[in-house]
Amino acid sequence: MVSGHMLVAFTFLALASFVLASDPSPLQDFCVAIDEPKDAVFVNGKFCKDPMLAKADDFFLKGLNKPGNTSNQLGSMVTPANVVQIPGLNTLGISLVRIDYAPYGLNPPHTHPRATEALIVLEGSLYVGFVTSNPENRLFTKVLYEGDAFVFPEGLVHFQFNVGKTPAVAFAGLSSQNPGVITIAKAVFGSNPPISDDVLAKAFQVDKKVVDRLQAQFWMDIN
């Protein structure tokens, strides 16, 4: 039988775990990221510039109107606008990307370990989807047209494929200043050093020669 004191303790621990599971809110207006640690404070993986030295350019990026180069194996290109390109995004918990797709271009199955993604199509049409976690592994898909939006939950494998005969363009907002990206095929078959073909052959239930052939390919990074 659980006593009243134990129940209070369990409740406190549960609430504490919930609070600690979320990202902390910034305690200042902004924290412009800099590479030089002299006279700076380290926050969220970046050093913060003295707020009195911050300027408008720290929060500015131009060029997102320019198409990315889709002349590659996958026929797509992601142009990021995260804390690397806009230092003022540090600690603000948001970033964005432009994604260009050649006809039948693919942004291959990947995941963002630190962010939910909300995507809107500006030109063309995209077949998009995500897969839920084990054990169900449910696939949610939709064909998007200009003006349509779709959300990919944080950490779940997702993709976009241009199903049209013309180029497509999409923009996406992500709930992290540095969402990270793991492209599934590249991570599994293009890791450095390579994962043992014994491991991959057993995991995918295929012959080692199939694994060796896949590992020998050049795995394009469009992110």
Binding-site annotation, residues: 107, 110, 112, 117, 158
First to last CA, the chain: 54
Contacts of 199 (CB under 8 A, 6+ apart): none
Q: Which residues pair with 183 in a beta bridge?
A: 110
Tokens describing residue 28: 């200042």
CA torsion sign for 61, 113, 171, 169 is positive
How many CB atoms neighbour CB 96 within 10 A?
20
How many CB atoms neighbour CB 77 within 10 A?
21
Binding site listing for oxalate: 107, 112, 117
Q: Does the N-terminal peptide bond of residue 103 adopt cis geometry, omega within 30 degrees of 0? A: no
Across the beta sheet with 117-123, the strand order is 76-81, 95-101, 168-174, 117-123, 149-152
Rounded Cα gap, residues 221 and 201, in angstroms? 24
